[in-house]
Amino acid sequence: MAYHALDYYGIDELFTHEERMVRDTVRELVSSRVMPQIGKHWSAGTFPHELVARFGELGLLGPSLTGYGCAGISPTGYGLICQELERGDSGIRSFVSVQSSLVMFPIWAFGSEEQKQKYLPEMAAGRVIGCFGLTEPDFGSNPTGMLTTAKRVGAGYRITGTKRWITNGSAAQVALVWAKLDGTVRGFLVPTQSPGFAARDIHGKWSLRASVTSELVMEDCEVGEDALLPGVSGMRGPLSCLSQARFGICYGAVGAAMACYDEALSYAKDRVQFSKPIAGYQLVQRKLVDMVSEITKAQLLCLQLGRLKETNRLTPGQISLAKRNNVAMARDIARDARDILGANGVTDDYQCGRHMLNLESVYTYEGTHDIHTLIVGQDVTGLAAFDS
Ligand code: TGC
Ligand code: FAD
């Protein structure tokens, strides 16, 4: 089925020529390379690794970073890349979010010159894959409580602990592991071949099936002095990375919603029940119009989010508000699209069921919907409601 991207308010004209070019390139890539095979990968629970080199060639990895082989496009351009990739599948966008925002960004922002030279050009080309280890089995929404520790030994560090739910975990050559060194959270670039490091995949997911999700186990894992990210300490380190990735997710969720709307509209125009296509019935039109309304609002939110970021005015609270709104919006639209498709909507002949299940993970990761409620709640009231 040809894809018709919803743009009810002509928002397209508010993007720069370069942003439109990048978006159209990724849209075409998703149509030609992702859509024909994503259903198969999702069913098999495999990630399409063959796409990674192409992402590198097109400059989609770390795209808004400058230097070191990165494309240096605008934050809005990065957002549009996420939108288009998630139109294909949330797992594909996750790969790019983790590589770009959660691993390349902190190396670029907090790494030594040697670390930047060593990792960034290889990661931009897709020859080295990274993962981001923050969450632990008992510390998800509250990563500050992490148990993973690093101790100084000789000319390096010994890391001990377990990270869980780590995207790209077993596919990565380098893991950015957050661990407490003398009680303070620090970032360590751990080569995954290091002695004492193991990545075990988590199976049985009914969401983000076309994405690698792993547990990282570090038992006296020894790394060199050069593994420590020198430029940041405390929770500001991982939370700064999350701000970058959440920004991309705000756009990505819109892409998933646009895919579901497009499928539902096309199906409703074709599917005849009683005397006419179901698109001609008021109740179905109400669902489609609600989708147009919510997607259009989310697109405008994203546009302003990008412009605020480009002028260094974007706050974590504003990102949380958009992550919370846009992912919930996409999750609702995926479910309504599935409803419009009737029984066909529960089969993998159509994509809305896959998006619906993927969006359950997106609703939870990078801060759950409720945690983002509390972040914005704290921002507007000045009172934190996370604890007690
Ligand atoms: P808090 O005491 O408020 O702040 C600690 C320090 O961090 C600073 N800060 C931020 N800096 C940059 N960006 C942000 N968004 C920031 N938020 C806070 C803050 O100014 C302070 O700095 P300093 O210098 O004064 O020390 O933070 P807290 O430790 O109490 O945390 C509160 C809370 C609940 C908001 C935080 O823990 C949180 O966001 N929890 C949710 C956990 C989460 O989102 N995990 C995601 C794991 S990664 C993932 O899911 C990847 S999915 C794969 C994919 O992306 O596709
Ligand atoms: P919990 O924190 O146990 O939350 C469970 C429920 O309790 C939620 O509804 C939550 O909103 C609620 N809750 C928690 N605290 C409060 C509170 N104070 N007030 C009110 N309600 C509360 N992590 C990484 O570090 N790197 C990755 O690459 C990564 N990839 C992921 C990929 C997938 C597919 C998934 C599913 C997760 C991934 N995660 C990753 C982990 C993700 O960030 C966590 O799952 C998320 O932060 C939530 O933590 P949790 O699952 O432990 O849930």
Per residue in 264-323, pLDDT (tens digit) is 999 999 999 999 999 999 999 999 999 999 999 999 999 999 999 999 999 999 999 999
Query: To which H or E segment does residue 217 belong?
Result: strand 213-224
> What is the DSSP annotation of 98-161?
IIIIIIIHHHHHH--HHHHHHHHHHHHTTSS-EEEE--BTTBSS-GGG---EEEEETTEEEEEE
Look at residues 227, 258, 291 and tell me which one is the last residue of a structural domain: 227
CATH code, 112? 1.10.540.10
Residue 15 within any structural domain of the chain? yes
For residues 218 and 270, membership in a common domain is answered with: no
Same domain, 295 and 243: yes
Q: Is 98 in the pocket of ligand 1 (CB under 6 A)?
A: yes
Q: How many domains does the chain have?
A: 3
Whose alpha carbon is nearest atom 37 of ligand 1? 142
Same-domain check for residues 171 and 207: yes
**CA 205 to ligand 1 centroid distance, Å:** 26
Is residue 49 helix, strand or coil? coil
CA 27/CA 54 separation, integer angstroms:
14
Contact 100, 220 (CB under 8 A): no
% the chain with pLDDT above 70? 100
pLDDT at 1: 81
Yes or no: say if 310 and 76 are a contact pair by the CB < 8 Å rule. Answer: yes
CB atoms closer than 10 angstroms to residue 84: 30
Instruction: Give mean pLDDT, residues 73-83.
Output: 98
> Do 144 and 54 share a structural domain?
no
User: What CATH number is attached to the domain comprising 334?
Assistant: 1.20.140.10
User: Could you tell me if residue 2 is inside a domain?
Assistant: no
Beta carbons within 10 angstroms of residue 235's beta carbon? 16
- Using a pLDDT cut of 90, give the percent of the chain over it: 99
Tens-place pLDDT, residues 158-180: 999 999 999 999 999 999 999 99
Please tell me the distance between residue 373's alpha carbon and the centre of ligand 2 in angstroms. Answer: 14
Instruction: Establish if 196 belongs to a structural domain.
Output: yes
* CATH at 193: 2.40.110.10
Does pLDDT of 121 surpass 80? Answer: yes
Same domain, 114 and 144: no
Domain-embedded: residue 161: yes
Q: Whole domain around residue 108: which residue ranges?
A: 11-124
Cβ of 143 below 6 Å from ligand 1? yes
Mean pLDDT score, 66-83: 98
Substitution site in 368, 370, 388 for ligand 2 pocket (most atoms within 8 Å of beta carbon): 368
Instruction: Judge whether 158 and 221 are in contact, CB under 8 Å.
Output: yes
Q: Does some domain include residue 1?
A: no
Ligand index nearest the alpha carbon of residue 370: 2
Ligand approaching nearest to the C-alpha of 164: 2
Residue 6 falls inside a structural domain: no
- pLDDT at 303 (0 to 100): 98
Residues 274 and 214 in one domain: no
Tokens of 247: 């920004």
Note whether 44 and 58 are same-domain residues: yes
Same domain, residue pair 157 and 55:
no
Q: Is 114 a catalytic residue?
A: no
Of 227, 262, 278, the last residue of a domain is 227
Secondary structure of residue 350 in the 3-state scheme: coil
Catalytic residue from among 86, 136, 294, 366: 366
276, 197: one domain: no
Tell whether 185 is covered by a domain.
Answer: yes
Domain-located, residue 327: yes
> Residue 97: what pLDDT?
98
Does the pLDDT value for residue 388 go beyond 80?
Answer: no
CB atoms within 10 A of CB 180: 17
The mean predicted confidence, pLDDT, of the chain is 98
- Last residue in a domain, options 94, 124, 154: 124
Residues 119 and 148 occupy one common structural domain: no
Looking at the fold, whether 252 and 377 belong to one and the same domain comes out as yes
Dihedral over Cα of 111, 115, 119, 121: its sign: positive
| 200 CB neighbour count, 10 Å cutoff | 12
Are 260 and 344 in a shared domain? yes
Task: For residue 184, list its beta bridge partners.
Answer: 181
Q: Against a cut of 0.75, is the pTM above it?
A: yes
